[in-house]
Structure 1
Amino acid sequence: MDEATFLDEVAWRGGLGDAASARRIVEVVLAAFAEALVLDEARALAHALPAPLAAWVLAGPHAGNLAEDALYRRVADREGTLIGFAIEHSRLVLGVLGDRLPETTRVRLRRHLGPELAALLAPRAPLPAPPAHLRKPPEPALGEGHTLATGRPGSQKPVSEAAPERAHAESVVRAENPHEDTKLSSSRGLTQERERETLAEGEPGPLRPVSEKGR
């Protein structure tokens, strides 16, 4: 256990804004809690803590007869805060402490403390498993997924195995006889030729002679 990790855990669990706030709360709570221990128990606790935290525990006094409500009142007085905040801060710091203490030290302290204070050092219970229908499906094995993290390089169908269409549906490339209507070898002629309206096949004069106009 190191000081920075302990303070970071307190700040994270308590939603505190910075490490300085966490440090002040930890100092007050540990010093008040140490007053519930006899000197030997305080030394055992200090031995399991990094130097800055151990100093607050050893500062004393160590009366060994502090009740839970008395602990909260001392924390409230030293923080200059309401009793509700003192209760919250005490349970926060001692909860982190209980999670990080060696099992032998935690058992020794809990044996000496009353049941209420001993309960504050109990490790947090693991969260229960979610119902089966809410559980996340297992991650696919590497190379079997469809994400950047689980997929394998390359595509499922390599370009070398693909058989793309050579052209779109209306392309002349797909026609058996492209430009059939306009090629000299197979064409039936342009529109003017099919309608017999070319100069070669036309008759002189207009379709309606001038002599017939006005009738």
Structure 2
Amino acid sequence: MDESTFLDEVAWRGGLGETSSARTVSEAVLRAFAETLVPDEARALAHALPAPLDAWILDGPHFGSLSEDALYRRVADREGTLLGFAIEHTRLVLGVLGDALPETTRLRLLRHLGPALGDLLAPREPLPSPPVHLRRPAEPERGKGTTLATGRPGSLKPLSEARPERAHADSVVRAENPHGETKLSSSRGLTQEREQETLAEGEPGPLRPVSERGR
């Protein structure tokens, strides 16, 4: 770890935008934090840091015993800002510091600082994995059966590849000889012609002669 990496991480996590802002915040927090350490612990911490971060720790003073509230107030005084901003900046910088420190150095500081200040150096926990029921299922192989739970949006056969029928089953569009029954060239005749009931095929006289009526 070098100074640039440390400050870039502070700027990114805190949304500070500029490295100069991250440097100002980091210096105020680390100098105030050094006051919570005894000289031996300050030297162990400085040994794990690049320049000029190590100098901010070594310069002192090293009181060796400060409360969490006192630390925040010292940061606010150094920054010339409100206590709320000082609390936010302290947790930001010490969080980055905790992630950057070797485990042996961090554990040594924790033994002296106690749980309240020691928690400020706790490494960030990795994001938990999503629950099983929220994980995205593996995509099925094409051609294999799919269900609503495993299927993908869309159709296995896109519309661009479809060849829909352009007419229903009884449509004249699909017939080989549309209107064939009524065309003169191919028709077997109208209904009367097919039933042989036209004038040309009829016999003279009524179906029932007059002589037979009344019987």
TM-score (norm 1): 0.64
Deviations 1:32-58 (A, max 9, x none): 111222333222212222333223223
Give the partner amino acid of 1:184: S
* 1:66-85 equivalence runs, <5 A: 66-85=66-85
2:103 is matched with which residue? 103
What is the CA-CA distance between 1:175 and the residue it aligns to? 0.7
Give the partner amino acid of 1:102: P
- 2:162 and 2:80 mapped to 1: Cα distance? 78
What is the CA-CA distance between 1:18 and the residue it aligns to? 3.1
Distance 1:31 1:179, change over 3 A: same
Q: Secondary structure at the match of 2:134?
A: coil
Give the partner amino acid of 1:76: A
Give the partner amino acid of 1:6: F
- 2:140 and 2:43 mapped to 1: Cα distance? 51
What is the CA-CA distance between 1:24 and the residue it aligns to? 1.1
Distance 1:172 1:165, change over 3 A: farther
What is the CA-CA distance between 1:106 and the residue it aligns to? 0.6
- 1:24 and 1:56 mapped to 2: Cα distance? 12
Q: Secondary structure at the match of 2:41?
A: helix
What is the CA-CA distance between 1:108 and the residue it aligns to? 0.6
What is the CA-CA distance between 1:104 and the residue it aligns to? 0.7
2:137 is matched with which residue? 139
Q: Secondary structure at the match of 2:52?
A: helix
* 1:127-166 equivalence runs, <5 A: 135-141=133-139, 143=141, 146=152, 156=156, 164-165=163-164
2:31 is matched with which residue? 31
Q: Which moved more, 1:90-99 or 1:5-14?
A: 5-14
2:43 is matched with which residue? 43
1:87 is matched with which residue? 87
Distance 1:158 1:95, change over 3 A: closer
Q: Secondary structure at the match of 1:51?
A: coil
Distance 1:63 1:139, change over 3 A: same
Q: Provide structure 2 residue ranges, at least 5 long, that are not aligned to the other structure.
A: 143-150, 191-215
TM-score (norm 2): 0.64
How many matched pairs? 179
Within the alignment, does 1:168 sit opposite 2:167 as a pair? yes
* RMSD between aligned residues: 3.6
Give the partner amino acid of 1:139: P
